[in-house]
Structure 1
């Protein structure tokens, strides 16, 4: 049975046939499933998930109250790892401000390390050895009073990186002489029976083996004192098939922030008050759980009230990408990181060029670029242009070289950020903005006195001659913060917006067929098998092994499936992935799709055809089976 996160979403099958407004309407329907649920599966608002979350929160707070210090380690590959970094960074910041960083700390692990915050690395997700070394680095063997709260995030219950860490920690907990018990949780959005059963390469287990072991231990313990948890609300298939950066990514952010906020509020309610209408101290954990979820759902609705102005930005992004131009994001603090993450995901999802979509961070408190990011490995700007993310990089390097075909999206969420935009960014825009260029300012506001001033300032700015080229988009939300200093609702709203801009833009640029990505990268095991599924489905082969052979022909530039040497056919998947990386092969899936049509005699001829017509969707329309 197909994993739910890899299934086709019936709501969005015509994603490539509608205009920009239609794209937003389809995304709105799909995102609503985060809260409404999917078919008859358990959703985030159902009792099973609510009780599991509350038991986890109570267990963590119980350990804190018993004098343990807690190292909360959120971990994952790709989007999951980036969100682990993002959320840990935000919560550490407020802990430090309140002086509790010695009792609780939030850490992150991402497969491949901080380099993969920006660019996915070949094989990182599948590296079992590195996964174990990474989690070992978080253990404090010298301190018997420090325990790990592990949150392994893998949307489809498939990431070897998470499986290896779970296995290691389960072994630690079940040792005869174990001095302490770590709290171990798995987060994903599939039923546990759909965890991947394929044996992980270079290892003796499948992901399913590890899930079954975790689930067995979970049921062996008393509920109030157990250390094992599985958090798996079902959000349904992605609007773009398999693109878990979208709905699953949003669900990850919501669920982790919900857990972390409840932990801090339940532990120290006066210092970490919930900033939500309807929150009172006598409320139970259960009522706070639903109150927070209600506010996320309201934020989703309020975000999609703005589809008319956002549809125009999607059209602009689509035009930019068709013309091989660019989309640039700029924003302060956490809003800037939302843009940074969205940009990083376009390479593996859409086969984008490295600088097609770039995210930049505005300066903050005298810090710039990677200092604002506050990642573990520090400044990575020397690696390549993809890692140059500072405000100075945007104003001095990017802006002077933009053309009228480039799209710029700037986001702010306060009067202070607007003033910074006016003083530090607007002068550069005036100097370098091109006639008819799409420059957009998205500003978030609530209905309070500070934001009434923001509205007034924006109106004055929009009426001035030098900003006549800027398109102002107001996103009015009922809430901005869960806890003071955590603008989680502005962040999730911006995530939904930017995901729609890149997804919609690449749809309009012909990088999507129906609701399937057709130019994804082959950087790990999961993407290899997803690619086989795409070829099998679109070309109506009804034979997964045949699809695999066409993919191999594309990778090795072999003219016919009958010509594939047996030694290549028998290679493990990781060897194909290594070859793709070493040979820097492009358009792997498009070539395989067209080869499967039977209308081309060789991959090289197909690549020539793609050079003439880079819009893959049009080529597929001409050559795929009717």
Structure 2
């Protein structure tokens, strides 16, 4: 374990208990500045993973995250934010944490040490060869995550490993390994810190990149959002008004006629067709709004 970067002592924080609050902030900020560089070094592997995920989505597959502790919580968080942001069904991106729902807020003793449970958890979701599994283990050796990757690979599913160590046990089990080496933590072994931040950054890239590739945005506008609250409702109106060049009241009227579907409302307005015809036009263009718009 001592050869794992994530478990080593950080010389920069060897005397952290003698520092003032401001000094602790400055120290942590200087260490956090290293994270983006570590993630950037993994750009090629992240890009390949995004392409695989998007391809699986296009062919009816799903994305699964599986991890324990902080890693599991971050996977669940990223998955839970996809439906409101991209109007995806909850089953399209799934986060699974060792120990189940209770582990989101409380440590579940020994959950990460059970590789067989990972298989059982995936089976509950009918995980198949069409899907892709991202196994998140900053140490690269969590038995629960290794068990999930082994099972996914046995089915012929795509496997992506995430770790913050250069070489690990998940490497041979993964088609692609994303390994931003962020260095030892301020508090030795506390991978909720730099490693956790790197994890969040990469997961943001995986889902956002894949969603963009399958047509969930128009430019940088989230045209497939689900207006589940007042903020998102107002955003929907602004997006339709901007792209279709409508007044906000008119944009709201068309959105209502299209059951709140932003892309449908835009296509219906610009083509002067009804909601169902707009949906069919979008479907014929694989959901890509830009391709479904009138050509200039």
Partner of residue 101 from structure 1, selected from 85, 89, 112: 89
> Is the Cα contact below 8 Å between 2:165 and 2:181 reproduced in 1?
yes
1:8-48 Cα shifts (integer Å, max 9, x gaps): 11221121001111110111111111023xxxxxx2212xx
> Is the Cα contact below 8 Å between 1:12 and 1:26 reproduced in 2?
yes
* In structure 1, distance between residues paired with 2:105 and 2:54: 34
Aligned counterpart, 1:147 = 130
1:213-237 Cα shifts (integer Å, max 9, x gaps): x36xxxxxxxxxxxx1111011111
Aligned counterpart, 2:101 = 114
Aligned counterpart, 1:56 = 49
Aligned counterpart, 1:71 = 62
> Is the Cα contact below 8 Å between 1:71 and 1:105 reproduced in 2?
yes
**Structure 2 residue 183 is the aligned partner of structure 1 residue 190:** no
* 3-state SS of 2:131 partner: strand
**Structure 2 residue 122 is the aligned partner of structure 1 residue 135:** yes
* Unmatched tracts of structure 1, length 5 or more: 37-42, 174-181, 196-207, 216-227, 277-363, 367-412, 417-483, 485-626
* Unmatched tracts of structure 2, length 5 or more: 223-227, 235-261, 263-296
1:101-148 Cα shifts (integer Å, max 9, x gaps): 39x71101101001011110111111222221011222256xxxx721
**Structure 2 residue 220 is the aligned partner of structure 1 residue 274:** yes
Larger Rg: 1
* In structure 2, distance between residues paired with 1:136 and 1:229: 22
Cα gap change, 1:84/1:32 in structure 2, threshold over 3 Å: closer, same or farther? same
> Is the Cα contact below 8 Å between 1:4 and 1:236 reproduced in 2?
yes
Aligned counterpart, 1:27 = 28
> Is the Cα contact below 8 Å between 1:77 and 1:161 reproduced in 2?
yes
Superposition pairs of residues 175-254 of structure 1, within 5 angstroms: 182-192=157-167, 195=168, 208=169, 211-212=171-172, 214=173, 228-254=175-201
Partner of residue 158 from structure 1, selected from 135, 141, 157: 141
- State the superposition RMSD in angstroms: 2.7
1:168-204 Cα shifts (integer Å, max 9, x gaps): 111122xxxxxxxx22100010011xx2xxxxxxxxx
1:337-378 Cα shifts (integer Å, max 9, x gaps): xxxxxxxxxxxxxxxxxxxxxxxxxxx969xxxxxxxxxxxx
> Is the Cα contact below 8 Å between 2:45 and 2:178 reproduced in 1?
yes
1:436-469 Cα shifts (integer Å, max 9, x gaps): xxxxxxxxxxxxxxxxxxxxxxxxxxxxxxxxxx
Aligned counterpart, 1:3 = 4
**Structure 2 residue 15 is the aligned partner of structure 1 residue 14:** yes
Aligned counterpart, 2:287 = none
* In structure 1, distance between residues paired with 2:194 and 2:144: 21
**Structure 2 residue 75 is the aligned partner of structure 1 residue 84:** yes
* 3-state SS of 1:184 partner: strand
* In structure 1, distance between residues paired with 2:186 and 2:116: 34
> Is the Cα contact below 8 Å between 1:264 and 1:272 reproduced in 2?
no
Cα gap change, 1:5/1:188 in structure 2, threshold over 3 Å: closer, same or farther? same
1:468-494 Cα shifts (integer Å, max 9, x gaps): xxxxxxxxxxxxxxxx9xxxxxxxxxx
> Is the Cα contact below 8 Å between 2:66 and 2:148 reproduced in 1?
no
Superposition pairs of residues 378-389 of structure 1, within 5 angstroms: none
> Is the Cα contact below 8 Å between 2:56 and 2:132 reproduced in 1?
no
* 3-state SS of 1:147 partner: coil
State the shift of 1:53 in Å: 1.4
* 3-state SS of 2:150 partner: helix
Query: What TM-score comes out, normalization by structure 2 length?
Result: 0.70
* 3-state SS of 1:44 partner: helix
State the shift of 1:86 in Å: 0.9
* In structure 2, distance between residues paired with 1:108 and 1:75: 6
> Is the Cα contact below 8 Å between 1:7 and 1:242 reproduced in 2?
yes
* In structure 1, distance between residues paired with 2:6 and 2:83: 30
